[in-house]
Amino acid sequence: MTTSREIHLKSRPVGTPTAANFETVTVTLPAPGAGEVQVRNTWMTVDPYMRGRMNDVKSYTPPFALGEAMQGGAVGEVIASNDPSLKVGDLVQSFFGWREAFNAPAAAVQKLETHGLPVQAFLGAVGMPGLTAYAGLLRVAALKDGDVVFVSGAAGAVGQMVCQIAKIKGHTVIGSAGGADKAAYLKSLGVDHVIDYKAEPVGPALMRAAPDGIDVYFDNVGGEHLEAALMAARPFGRFALCGMISQYNATDMGEGVRGLIQAVGKQLKLEGFIVSTHADMQGAFVKDMAEWVAAGKIQWRETVENGIENAPAAFLKLFTGENLGKMLVKLA
């Protein structure tokens, strides 16, 4: 019998979540049934979008159920198999979430070929956050030659990839992040203009960084960053609305965004997107990423918490911006 600790959603947060919304539960797993495998997770991911799933509202994915393990991406190793398609020791990726180990049908996990990359990269740079950056920039914002690109949350899991993909494509990139460490990291990535929004208001800083305006805004933050982008946008600017972390814990309709009238006169296009809608780009993304990684053109950072018991803390740190790059929880 295998023992596994899981993190359950105990209560739905109102406003900013706290540790009390979560509960650690120990379960014992029987041997996997016919067609099943047993997986020990080595890494799991916490992502800002999970905040939305903690609310009991209709959205693009159903809400997390109370009293059940939080769902989400994880990578691990098969430790018992009752299916010919997977054997003990195989690495697999799954979406069963915040748990140390689980049983599942073999078809419900994906065998992982790491191609020499660290396994946890498949939860970040070469995984969903990487594809989010790729699809948002290249398809949603329809990046084209000469575009000046502004990215908020630029030192986060998605933002760090947006910055680098835009640089690889030859663009002037303005990245905003909070704090000196993140700003230094962005400079090291070759970001042309770095805004530390904790050190100066983003609006005037953006106007200084892009006196002739911006063409593309990749929004991870919302609020003041979005206002600044509206004011700085050039005609026919395109905004890929990926997330608005500044608003996720609002208990009402959130903060108002001023300056939307700019969208009329400047004929801006603001488009929200969810990465799963662009799953068809996975092949092109993997191919490009393999080339960029091999050529040393892409790097990434991770912030790691250890142990499933620290998964809620890791999640909460997303909202105080304590992660540099991808926030991950190492489980084994």
Write the binding mask 262 to 301 for its own copies: x where contact by CB under 8 A, - elsewhere: xxxxxxxxxxxxx--x------------------------
Compute the distance between CA of residue 30 and CA of residue 56 in angstroms, rounded to an integer: 32
Q: What is the closest distance, in whole angstroms, from the C-beta atom of residue 275 to its own copies in the complex?
A: 11
Compute the distance between CA of residue 39 and CA of residue 27 in angstroms, rounded to an integer: 14
Q: Which is nearer to its own copies, 244 or 328 (CB)?
A: 244
| CA quadruple 25, 31, 36, 41: dihedral sign | positive
Q: Which residue reads 């947060």 in tokens?
A: 13
Q: Which is nearer to its own copies, 145 or 252 (CB)?
A: 252
Which DSSP category does 332 fall into?
-
Q: Does 229 bind its own copies (CB under 8 A)?
A: no
Q: Does 205 bind its own copies (CB under 8 A)?
A: no
Q: Does 1 bind its own copies (CB under 8 A)?
A: no
Q: What is the closest distance, in whole angstroms, from the C-beta atom of residue 268 to its own copies in the complex?
A: 5
Compute the distance between CA of residue 300 and CA of residue 50 in angstroms, rounded to an integer: 22
Choice from 11, 247, 282, 310 touching its own copies (CB under 8 A) = 247
Choice from 78, 195, 241, 298 touching its own copies (CB under 8 A) = 241
Compute the distance between CA of residue 157 and CA of residue 151 in angstroms, rounded to an integer: 12
Stretch of 177-185, 225-233, 299-307, 313-321 contacting its own copies, by CB under 8 A: 225-233
Strands 74-81 and 36-45: antiparallel
Q: What is the closest distance, in whole angstroms, from the C-beta atom of residue 36 to its own copies in the complex?
A: 33
Task: Tally Cβ neighbours within 10 Å of residue 53.
Answer: 20
Q: Does 52 bind its own copies (CB under 8 A)?
A: yes
Task: Tally Cβ neighbours within 10 Å of residue 144.
Answer: 12
Stretch of 11-19, 251-259, 297-305, 311-319 contacting its own copies, by CB under 8 A: 251-259
Q: What is the closest distance, in whole angstroms, from the C-beta atom of residue 80 to its own copies in the complex?
A: 38
Q: Does 16 bind its own copies (CB under 8 A)?
A: no
Q: Does 319 bind its own copies (CB under 8 A)?
A: no
| CA quadruple 76, 82, 85, 87: dihedral sign | positive
Answer for the pair 190, 167: CB distance below 8 angstroms, yes or no. Answer: yes
Answer for the pair 98, 32: CB distance below 8 angstroms, yes or no. Answer: no
Q: Which is nearer to its own copies, 76 or 223 (CB)?
A: 223
Compute the distance between CA of residue 38 and CA of residue 278 in angstroms, rounded to an integer: 30
Binding residues for its own copies (CB under 8 A): 52, 59-60, 222, 226-227, 231, 235, 241-244, 247-248, 250, 252-274, 277
